[in-house]
Amino acid sequence: MNIPQSSFPRVVIIGGGFGGIALAKKLSKKEVQVVLLDKHNYHNFQPLLYQVSTGGLEPDSIAYPIRKVLQGYPNFYFRLAQVKEVNTEAKLVKTNIGEIAYDYLVVATGSETNFFGNKALEAKGMAMKTIPQSLNLRSLILENFEQALLTDDLHERDALMNFVIVGGGPTGVELAGALAEIKKGILPKDYPDLDTRRAQINLVQAGDRLLPAMSEVASRKAEKFLEELGVNVWKNIRVTDYDGKRITTNTNTIFDAETLVWAAGVRAVSLKGLYGANYLSHGNRLRVNEFHQVEGFENIFAIGDVAQMTTEAFPHGHPMMAQPAMQQGRNLGDNLVRLVEGKSMKPFVYKDKGSMATVGRNKAVVDLPKFKFQGVFAWFVWMFVHLYFLIGFRNRVVVFINWVYNYVRFDREARLIIRPFKKQNKVEKDTLMRD
Ligand SMILES: Cc1cc2nc3c(=O)[nH]c(=O)nc-3n(C[C@H](O)[C@H](O)[C@H](O)COP(=O)(O)OP(=O)(O)OC[C@H]3O[C@@H](n4cnc5c(N)ncnc54)[C@H](O)[C@@H]3O)c2cc1C
């Protein structure tokens, strides 16, 4: 990999997401050599992926070059590499561009969509975890409407305009809200010769309430907001099968729909060599102690979605969200410096800053540790928080301008089919992307 030997210990970080970047920043200017490996050369701000899928934002405005984040940091090396395996005996990371030895290894590989072994859903359903997947979804949504214009078969036309989103967490709720706004504000103008009132947005949730990780009041209010927007909310229904045309469930409800978006679960991305019953917990997460050390190792750490730290307050690990990943990255950064200096490490304590979801224009729900609120103010808070955490000044400016423009004009101008999406090639494309 052409990384020089250094007198400083080498910390290899796998993954430049929320956790990996926070950690690398903490280690800048410290007496360690940092090697960050990621299969993408950019950081992906996943909370705004749904806006890319629905034409509200260009993908460039939610991605940021990893090299730029860490520009000017001494002893820092980035390599664009897909990690294949970890050899814990030899302290080596094996990648598609070669091997690299480590003194300390940090796994920050995040999570991927979990179809819970249902091959049919994986083959025909759309995931929304990466920028290419969001662009695929954007293309498919728009192609469906173009196709709907061409058919005289009413059933086929309805199926093309029928959208089923599975999973009533923040991703499902936000996507359903955005699609409903497109139906109301954009489709009638873009497709005056199509009866777009027949378009249906269905949100299917296996449990008895939306946003189950948030308060009851947030769930109720989010559902009310969605219903006001015309979304059909289906609760206590589990999707079981999809052949690309018909969605079956564990009840009598079926949907004939050309688009199924799967937002019903994620699992940690674990690596060969660390993939074994010894290390893995619920959802493939690596079991770590309060210092982020992977069970059984002193020099291998895991942070973010991939790590499960069981505490009294979080018996199933911290939520798979950006805040825990960033806080863990910062804590581990301090601890690695302490380790190198021969000091003892400090245990991680998660500071829960709350959670939020937006449903649409002027509609959001916010649960803070001490306050809960919904509506217009919550929506402004949601926007401010997302702008604040977005990486890069340019991205913040671009997103802000887009939001103001979309708000004033009731528009989403990035509704472009840049690379057409063919459903039948999906399996092959997704496999390529994963590799
Ligand atoms: C649609 C969506 C909406 C979300 N909305 C919110 C929200 O509103 N608020 C919130 O707090 N959280 C939200 N989340 C969750 C949040 O994005 C994650 O919890 C967070 O990204 C986890 O950070 P991480 O550092 O663990 O992993 P990630 O940020 O996912 O980063 C993992 C990195 O590892 C890299 N990688 C993975 N495997 C390999 C490999 N083998 N080799 C090399 N590199 C590899 C990836 O390319 C990636 O850059 C959302 C997630 C999604 C998908």
Question: Does the pLDDT value for residue 433 go beyond 60?
Answer: no
Ligand 1 centroid to Cα of residue 88, in Å, is 24
Would you call 340 exposed, middle or buried from its count of C-beta atoms within 10 A (0-12, 13-18, 19+)? middle
* Mean pLDDT lowest among 219-228, 277-286, 318-327, 381-390: 277-286
The two tokens of residue 191 are: 């497709």
Ligand 1 centroid to 230 CA: how many Å?
Answer: 30
pLDDT at residue 420 tops 50 = yes
pLDDT in tens, 54-66: 999 999 999 999 9
Q: How many residues does the chain have?
A: 435
Pairing of strands 76-80, 307-309: unpaired
User: Does 110 sit in the ligand 1 pocket, CB within 6 Å?
Assistant: yes
Q: What is the pLDDT, as a whole number, of residue 431? A: 46
Asked if pLDDT for residue 327 goes beyond 90, the answer is: yes
CA 51 to chain centre: 12
37: pLDDT strictly greater than 90: yes
The pLDDT score that the predictor gives to residue 280 is 73
Residue with token string 């559902």: 223
Which of 64-73, 278-287, 353-362, 374-383 has the lowest average pLDDT? 278-287
Whether the CB of 109 sits within 6 Å of ligand 1: yes
- Give the HSE-up count for residue 217: Cα atoms under 13 Å, Cβ half-sphere: 9
Determine the 3-state secondary structure of 247 from DSSP. strand
Mean pLDDT of the chain: 94
Candidate from 26-35, 93-102, 261-270, 414-423 with smallest mean pLDDT: 414-423
132-137-142-147 Cα dihedral, nearest 10 degrees: 110
Q: For 301, what's the count of Cα atoms within 13 Å in the CB-facing half-sphere?
A: 30
**pLDDT tens digits along 193-219:** 999 999 999 999 999 999 999 999 999
User: 360: Cβ below 6 Å to ligand 1?
Assistant: no
Q: Name the closest-CA residue to atom 46, ligand 1.
A: 15
Beta-bridged to residue 107, according to DSSP, are 14, 302
Query: Is pLDDT above 90 for 74?
Result: no
Q: What is the pLDDT of residues 263-303, one digit of tens each?
A: 999 999 989 998 765 667 778 899 999 999 999 899 999 99
Instruction: Tell me the two tokens of residue 285.
Output: 């997460």
Dihedral sign for Cα atoms in the order 33, 65, 19, 387: positive
Q: pLDDT at residue 435 above 60?
A: no
Pick from 26, 38, 86 the residue to mutate for probing ligand 1's pocket: most ligand atoms within 8 Å of its CB: 38
- Using CA atoms, how far apart are residues 331 and 347, in angstroms rounded to an integer? 8
- Mean pLDDT of the region 111-134: 95
- Which of 143, 174, 223, 258 is an active site residue? 174
Select from 145, 143, 139, 136 the least CA-distant residue to 187.
Answer: 145
Q: What is the pLDDT of residue 367?
A: 97
Cα dihedral value 206, 185, 46, 52, nearest 10: 130
Distance in Å, CA 391 to ligand 1 centroid: 14
**What integer pLDDT is reported at residue 281 of this predicted model?**
73
Mean pLDDT, residues 351-362: 95
pTM over 0.75: yes
CB of 167 within 6 A of ligand 1: the answer is: no
User: What's the gap in Å between 148 CA and the centre of ligand 1?
Assistant: 34
SS3 content of the chain, % helix, strand, coil (to 5): 35, 25, 40
pLDDT at position 432, please? 45
Active site residue 174: yes
pLDDT attached to residue 430: 52
> 424 pLDDT exceeds 70?
no
> DSSP letter string over 124-169?
HSBP-SSHHHHHHHHHHHHHHHHHHHH---HHHHHHHTEEEEE--S
Q: How far is the CA of 325 from the centre of ligand 1 (A)?
A: 9
In ligand 1, the atom with minimum distance to the C-alpha of 84 is 41
Rounded Cα–Cα distance for residues 293 and 111 (Å): 18
Distances (CA, A) of 136 to 79, 83, 140: 27, 25, 6
Residue type, 155: H
